[in-house]
Amino acid sequence: MRLVIASLGLLTLTAQSAALTDAQLLAHYRHLHSHPELSLQEEQTARYLARELSSMGYAVSTGIGGHGLVAKLENGDGPTLMYRADMDGLPIPENTGLPFASEATGIIPSGDEVAVMHGCGHDVHMTVLLGVASQMMARRDEWQGTLLLVGQPAEELGAGALAMLEDGLYPRFGVPDANLALHVSATLPAGQFGYVSGYALANVDEVDISVYGRGGHGAYPHTTTDPVLMAAQIVLGLQTIVSRELSPLDSAVITVGSIHGGTKHNIISDEVKMQLTVRSYSDATRAMLLRRIEEISHGVARTAGMAEDRLPLVTVTDEYTPAVYNDPALVGTVAGLVRQALGESAMVELDPVMGGEDFSRYGRTEEQVPGNIVWLGTVSPANMAAAEAGQLTLPSLHSAKFAPDAEPTIAAGVSGMTAALLGLFKVRP
């Protein structure tokens, strides 16, 4: 079901008494920042959000697709809109110097204990969700419809959205007319929004390649078939796929992130293992990349004389995240609403990136719900000026030093996303 955009007037974002104050939002942010939890382990984080949303008057359901939660507010006849925030942290030891820096730890699948921080801004995402929730509750006389607020687990694994959908997200809580989300940006000024129409983030595939050979003594390579040499040829061959087989107007990335083989200087091993990340936008390009990776790997081994039953094993793992496609009509409406609320310069157009985001999953169901994820800047004026002067390299997302300028970032996030939701609720299917 598509939306017909109604005529929208300027939105006034004056908070009513029931809405969270800036000080309360900052307190929530500091708590969430100090208590990160790893993917699939977000039990206390979900409990914190559920308690706060319940106290506002939302009907909160928990344990969806793991530690996922949905806060629902039915407010008369009208559209159903969904707004998502992700909850998981990262296995990174924080090095920001903040007085509320994380000292949390978690257990990774290997069983090792690691330091954990919110190095991707999910603490900001959750805080903005709480602020938006309080605004929408306080101002429910300004809109009609049903609001679904989603706290999603395991975004960093690309698994949480699918888990919630497979656990009945839409059948249990209603199919939205549109889905919204935001993600912090490590390069935009604090409080400025960025938008991308169409493809915004990439398909993400993980590919494992086992290259088999015939091992032996390093002094007698002629008696062996060297898998290290084959692996090197495969690495070089893979780089020709994007540069020579894909249109220059299309975009893709094939990166070999890991390669391991052998045990000693003078031993030619029997096997080399490689790990790849493969990025694309369209499904057709994705299929071509994955096919050619296998064909090139097999071709190198055949040229080296390997038998058909000893060709490289190429495995595409289950950790697939589809590309994010921002619905152009929805993007235009949201951008206009944010500009009305915060000023013309508050929303700027950006280029798509090759990062991944499983927000895409919410639009890849049979209902084909239109979605839009926007970027929200986090960089303080001082750091932005220093970076522009070449005096500072801004920490990226997933950096141990990533520290948003929290107050203006959160304030703009709440105002902008509240404006978007209030405006979209004036839409009729």
Residues annotated as part of the active site: 88, 155
What CA–CA distance (Å, rounded) separates 256 from 274?
A: 7
Q: Is 183 annotated as a binding residue?
A: yes
- Any residues with CB less than 8 A from the CB of 272 and at least 6 apart, and which? 210, 211, 213, 227, 228, 230, 231, 259, 260, 261, 262
Indicate the helix (H) or strand (E) that contains 417. Answer: helix 406-424
Asked whether 152 and 67 are in contact (CB, 8 A), the reply is no
Place of tokens 């239109």: 370
DSSP character for 281?
S
Q: Of 48, 39, 31, 133, nearest to 91 (Cα)?
A: 39
Residue 36 in contact with residue 102, Cβ under 8 Å? yes
- SS3 string, 212-256, reads ECECEECCCHHHCECHHHHHHHHHHHHHHHHHHHCCCCCCEEEEE
User: Is 28 among the annotated ligand-binding positions?
Assistant: no
Residue 122 annotated as part of some ligand binding site: yes
Q: Which residues contact 64 (CB under 8 A, 6 or more apart)?
A: 70, 164, 167, 168, 169, 172
> Which of 106, 92, 332 minimizes the C-alpha distance to 197?
332
Judge whether 398 is annotated as a binding position.
yes
- The answer for 120, left when phi > 0, alpha when psi is -120 to 50, beta otherwise, is alpha
Got the DSSP string for 174-219? ---SEEEEEEEEEEEETT-EEE--EEEE-EEEEEEEEEE-B-EETT
State the DSSP H helix or E strand holding residue 87, giving kind and residue range, or none if neither: none
In the annotated binding site for Mn(2+), the residues are 120, 122, 156, 183, 398
In the annotated binding site, the residues are 120, 122, 156, 183, 398
